Amino acid sequence: MFVGGITAILLQSLHPLTMAAIADHSAYQSDPWGRMRRTSHFIAATTFGRPADARAAIAQVRAIHEHIAGTAPDGRPYAASDPHLLRWVHVAEIDAFLRAYAAYGSKRLDQAERDGYVADMAQIAVELGVPDPPRTQAQVATVIEQYLPELNGTSQARDAARFLLVKPPLPLIIRPIYGGLAAAAVSLLPPWARRELSLPSLPLTEAVLVRPAGRLAVNTIRWGLSARAPADA
């Protein structure tokens, strides 16, 4: 989730209207961890929560989206409730999490399990206002292909990438772990996305250094989250 979340944000930023909405209305720079906490709560509530919890989280997000609108730097209007933009955000997220799990997950998923994940997430997407979301991994790839002519590494998108990857507001002691996660996230981006964000592609370095560092960071977090407190604590 940590790696996939960073990959998803980088992918989502490549739609100029989505990025404009994030830049104008999101506190990703002034309060990045607050935004991450809210996003994590939504994912947890809709994935693991009771149906009432999931419905409440979805209703809250839809209510927020209704008040987010503006004009992008290129002069085009945008609205967070636009079904077309919601669909892009959804498919970018699903693609990123599938890539991250394939690279760093605790077990391998077969095709039926990957398609099952996409179908499950489609239920949430429909409730958020996404029209006809993809229900298989192949459909996700097709939808992303359809969006390619609209995607562009704008200055806002590159600024967001620099903030996420180079200047995260983190204590020095945590930065090495975060650096491993961030490098792992970049390694999962498709080549066209890296080009748009001016991020280098170094296959040998990624195979020898980035993937092992990513696994170490992920396994450290997995160990920390799965550790049990002593019974008498």
Tens of pLDDT, residues 56-82: 999 999 999 999 999 999 999 999 999
Report yes or no on 95 lying in a domain.
yes
Report yes or no on 30 lying in a domain.
yes
Q: Is the pLDDT of residue 204 over 60?
A: no
Total tally of structural domains belonging to the chain = 1
Around Cβ 230, how many Cβ atoms within 10 Å?
5
Q: Which of 2-11, 90-99, 113-122, 162-171 has the lowest mean pLDDT?
A: 162-171
- Residue with the larger pLDDT of the pair 159 and 183: 159
Question: Residues 164, 126: contact at Cβ < 8 Å?
Answer: no
Q: Is the pLDDT of residue 105 over 60?
A: yes
Report yes or no on 231 lying in a domain.
no
Predicted confidence band of residue 140 (pLDDT cuts 50, 70, 90) = very high
Q: Is the pLDDT of residue 50 over 50?
A: yes
Write the single-letter amino acid at 168: P
Instruction: Give the mean model confidence (pLDDT) for residues 130-140.
Output: 96
Q: Report the percent of the chain where pLDDT is more than 90.
A: 60
Predicted confidence band of residue 121 (pLDDT cuts 50, 70, 90) = very high
| pTM score, whole prediction | 0.86
- Across the chain, how many H-helices and E-strands are there? 12, 2
CA 144 from chain centre, in angstroms, equals 14
Report yes or no on 232 lying in a domain.
no
Classify residue 136 as exposed, middle or buried by CB count within 10 Å of its CB (0-12, 13-18, 19+).
middle
pLDDT (0 to 100) of residue 113:
97
Q: Residue 77: what are its φ and ψ, rounded to 5°? A: -75, 155
Identify the domain containing residue 185 by its residue range.
Answer: 2-226
Report yes or no on 233 lying in a domain.
no
pLDDT (0 to 100) of residue 219:
65
Residue with tokens 């020898």, as numbered in its chain? 208
Beta strands (DSSP E) in 97-183 are none
Report yes or no on 37 lying in a domain.
yes
| CB contact burial 207-220 (16+ within 10 A = b; e otherwise) | eeebbebbeebbee
